[in-house]
Structure 1
Amino acid sequence: MDIQNERRRLLDAEPGDEDPTGLISEQDAYLSKVKNKNLYLATFASVLGPMSFGFVLGYSSPAIPELTRISDPRLRLDSIQASWFGSIVTVGAAFGGLLGGWMVDKIGRKLSLMFCSLPFVFGFTVIIAAQNVWMLYLGRVLTGLASGVTSLVVPLYISEMAHERVRGFLGSCVQLMVVLGIMGVYLAGLFLDWRWLAICSSIPPTLMMVCMCFMPETPRFLLSQGKRREAEEALRFLRGPDAPVEWECARIEDACDEQGSSFHMSDLKDPGVYKPLVIGFMLMVFQQMTGINAIMFYAENIFEEAHFKESDLASVIVGLIQVVFTAVAALIMDKAGRKILLIISGVAMAISTTAFGVYFYLMSKLHTPTVSLSILMLDIQSKAGEEPHANLAWLALASMAVFITGFALGWGPIPWLVMSEIFPHKVRGFASAVCVLTNWGLAFIVTKTFQDMMTLLTSAGTFWLFASTCILNVLFTIAFIPETKGKTLEQIEATFRGTSGP
């Protein structure tokens, strides 16, 4: 058969179209020959980056209590400094998102990922060698910068490598490795002091740089640079020796030719650009307004206020719950779909944050120094032989468990996954930078003002505020977020343009 005619026939084939034998589509026939071993290997190398910024996110929780009690006055943190130590990492991450958006378009996904390992290692080195509080801040800003770049580059790298059958699973591994990093640093914090903890945290980014040396650049980026031969070689590495990669390469190339290669601000008038950009932006807003980063940054403090004696152990339990259910989300992502998991996740978080607010409200009433309540407290203590809040401790623990479970199932992994799927290739760097800047900027605002919110609105009011935003994100999901399960990136782009997919 003539090669050009065959190429055109393959390009025109839709996923649901049957082949000449009437059995399976061309797309299914192609995917049946794909071997995923090297794709999984490349994904593992890249997600060492999210594991690294999981260590960064979780580091403050075990380190802050120790640094507030340290004997060296040059390093001892007061309450305000501790708040900055926990939240300033998000400032670096916001700038990292801008830097990452520029880097992925200029030097590619692979080199961006390799270079971002340097500020990870340098940042933790500065923390290890810290002689004053400002060095601690600098180390946190550097690790935050690397986290911002990583949170943009890795989802793009994975989405552009993976095919539609496993893209949801592999994309969800980004958040899975983040929470593995958080749990790892919580667990290590039980046994190591803050300097040794920083040393351990520098190991994953070092491994990432080494492993990424042996991984390919993404085929889509190579084709956008006119490097077809290198793109076919990358696809052959990722899809295995039996897959006819020329077919997939032709489809990607055709989509790139249709879009054009460069982004201009006038492209924002295109519904194929501004619609996914608005959705990506709102996903990041709602993710942060659930309060997740405030809760994770100050996990031990929250449990201390909830009167758990083993608050550091409780944080490890929280991390374990998050790992388990993020893994569950990854396994079912390509079957259940993105939209239904976001709805379930939002409902679960709304219920749990409401219940957490009720817990703190009841605690505040128990601690009101009225005569009748004092008599009641004495009566309870004399009968139960324990603190009056002990009977309510289960509510705080259950609320935290349900919140983390809900977040891990949907609003943890899916915003990053959808961000990596919905943007056209030419705008992917710019639009992803806007989303990452929004995410980390709001993370800074929420974490920095969390203690102030607890004071101004009370603990109960703060959690009820988070509950209201969780309800809003469910309504937004139902109304505006499209389902991307099982679609190629080119088909998703065509959905927003209002045309049929390639």
Structure 2
Amino acid sequence: MLKRIDLFSVLKSCTSKNKQNNDEKVDENKQFSACLKQSLASLGPLILTVVVGMTLGYSAVLLPQLQAHTNVAITINKEEASWVASLAVIPMAAGALIGGVLIQKYGRKMTHIIICFPYCAGWILMYFSFNLQMLLTGRFLTGLCSGIITPATGVYIGETTDPKNRGMLLGGIPLSVSVGLLGSHLLGTFLTWQVTALVVAVFPFIAWLLMTFTPESPAWLAQKGLSDEAQESFYWLRNASEENRQEFEQMIARVKATNNNTNKIDEKNRLKELLEPEFWKPMAILLVFFISSQWAGVNAVTFYSINIMKQTLGESINEYLATFIIDCIRVIASIAQCILIRNIGRRPLALTGGFGTFIPLFILSGFIYSQKVFNIQNPNLVAVPITCLLAYVFFVTAGFVSLPWNLIGELLPMAKRSTGSGIASFVAYMSIFSVVKTMPALFENLGTDGSFLVYGFMALLGTAFVYRCLPETKGKTLHEIEEYFKDSKEDNSKGPLDTRL
């Protein structure tokens, strides 16, 4: 009898373990399925973000070929060359504000779909350009579309992914830009600028095809009162687990409360909503982070990197090789960011990136100053500026300049996410423009060493600000992040989102 009972207990235990293992496998399969669907939903916007990178990198392809007079139909002087280079960046800022309006009115997904066709048209127009006016129009159109895409992508990915996958997929935004820069430079090395434009024109069409199979943001659908469609979209992206059901119910309750408050507020008091802590606090963090990270000089220093390599390695260095090295480091750093942001979180990554940004800049500034003052000509020291430059490019890409783009999709409250993302992207692009515009005067008046010192000091200030103000959002739902900023009276450093390491 005892033997039978023991045998029965063993069989029962084995059955229980098998059932538990089967349940775990089912959960793993559901999680994998949800991750796959969220990745598919993010793929279309990320392909469009690759085109943003190609738009930024296209001037490096276009200008050398035009200035070499290989095209008899279009010839440019130095003044016209500056317009060709800047006419994509200038409309990006305006496009960011337009994008903030479009994603609220027409939806996050629909904004991407709408913009695919003018994006294609801009690149095709450049392919068929037979005069400078057509070329500039194409550059303007692609720059405007790039600006519109920027807030839409961060918000869409942030709202369609769960806390476990959100950081990694938002990290795909800077990775896509880096891939776009590398891709445009590689294409320009082997193809003419016209054929390069034609190849790039295919990417928005591919993104459009992919996005026809993915759902609209559940949060936006809920805001528009489409609760059934929001539920269908949410569960398609996540699966209908108990945890996800609770998160969906929290989202619906938050939307209803927000809509009720909005209906009670007249137009005169609508601006006062922007002074609510759940909006102005994350907005201030984003704006200061954007300005300080852009003024860490990434666009200026990487632009000047070719000259640094020539100064240290000699004039014989191949410019395309030097550009390729920088682009590859950017891509590697962006891949590292996607991995690290999920494993270590936002704050440690931002602080590591900040330290890795200003320390090489200070060393590089001191080295160049010492060379100039003491006339040091030791060939054994060539590795110092090269190492500093490459370390700077890696850390500024992996954890400093790219992180605020990820945070757009996380920090801003749902009710003002469209407005906030447009404003933040506008400030980011204006910061990029101001850095690039002031770069020649800065290098001329302060020298290379002084300019790097300025950029390093701005990176130091940004790092100190991040340490003091940036909360950790790893593993938190968008509702938890919004609640963290909502109560201005409590000490936020002890809330659910910690600002301490």
Distance 1:143 1:391, change over 3 A: farther
Aligned counterpart in structure 1 of residue 467 of structure 2, from 452, 475, 478: 478
CA contact (8 A) 1:301 1:311 kept: no
Distance 1:86 1:294, change over 3 A: farther
In structure 1, distance between residues paired with 2:392 and 2:89: 22
- CA deviation after TM superposition for structure 1 residue 331, in Å: 1.0
- CA deviation after TM superposition for structure 1 residue 407, in Å: 1.4
In the other structure, the counterpart of 1:227 is 226
In structure 1, distance between residues paired with 2:436 and 2:486: 37
- CA deviation after TM superposition for structure 1 residue 494, in Å: 0.3
In structure 1, distance between residues paired with 2:381 and 2:188: 28
Distance 1:394 1:137, change over 3 A: farther
Distance 1:340 1:146, change over 3 A: same
CA contact (8 A) 2:89 2:143 kept: yes
Letter in 2 for 1:333: I
Letter in 2 for 1:341: L
Letter in 1 for 2:168: F
Distance 1:422 1:120, change over 3 A: same
In structure 2, distance between residues paired with 1:405 and 1:40: 25
3-state SS in 1 of match to 2:476: coil
Aligned counterpart in structure 2 of residue 433 of structure 1, from 410, 422, 427: 422
In the other structure, the counterpart of 2:64 is 65
3-state SS in 1 of match to 2:101: helix
Question: Is 1:265 aligned to 2:265, yes or no?
Answer: no
Task: Tell me whether 154-163 or 196-205 shows the greater mean CA deviation.
Answer: 196-205
Aligned counterpart in structure 2 of residue 340 of structure 1, from 343, 348, 351: 348
Distance 1:496 1:365, change over 3 A: same
Letter in 2 for 1:440: Y
Letter in 2 for 1:314: A
Encode CA deviations 1:57-76: one digit per residue, 9 max, x unaligned.
11122332222222456633
CA contact (8 A) 2:290 2:401 kept: no
CA contact (8 A) 2:95 2:148 kept: yes
In the other structure, the counterpart of 1:370 is none
5+ long unaligned stretches in structure 2: 1-25, 497-501
Equivalenced residues, count: 456
Question: Is 1:401 aligned to 2:390, yes or no?
Answer: yes
In the other structure, the counterpart of 1:274 is 280
Distance 1:147 1:305, change over 3 A: farther
TM-score normalised by structure 1 residue count: 0.84
Report matched runs for 1:158-197 at 5 Å: 158-197=157-196
- CA deviation after TM superposition for structure 1 residue 365, in Å: 5.8
TM-score normalised by structure 2 residue count: 0.84
5+ long unaligned stretches in structure 1: 1-28, 367-372, 377-387
- CA deviation after TM superposition for structure 1 residue 189, in Å: 2.1
Distance 1:191 1:209, change over 3 A: same
- CA deviation after TM superposition for structure 1 residue 51, in Å: 0.6
In the other structure, the counterpart of 2:209 is 210
- CA deviation after TM superposition for structure 1 residue 126, in Å: 2.4
Aligned CA-pair RMSD: 2.7
Letter in 2 for 1:479: R
Distance 1:289 1:196, change over 3 A: same
Distance 1:361 1:118, change over 3 A: farther
In structure 2, distance between residues paired with 1:266 and 1:319: 44
Question: Is 1:329 aligned to 2:328, yes or no?
Answer: no
- CA deviation after TM superposition for structure 1 residue 304, in Å: 4.7
Task: Tell me whether 411-420 or 462-471 shows the greater mean CA deviation.
Answer: 411-420
In structure 2, distance between residues paired with 1:363 and 1:328: 34
Aligned counterpart in structure 1 of residue 358 of structure 2, from 350, 354, 361: 350
Encode CA deviations 1:400-426: one digit per residue, 9 max, x unaligned.
211111012212331011121111111
| Structure with a larger share of its residues in helix | 2
Distance 1:301 1:53, change over 3 A: farther
In the other structure, the counterpart of 1:414 is 403
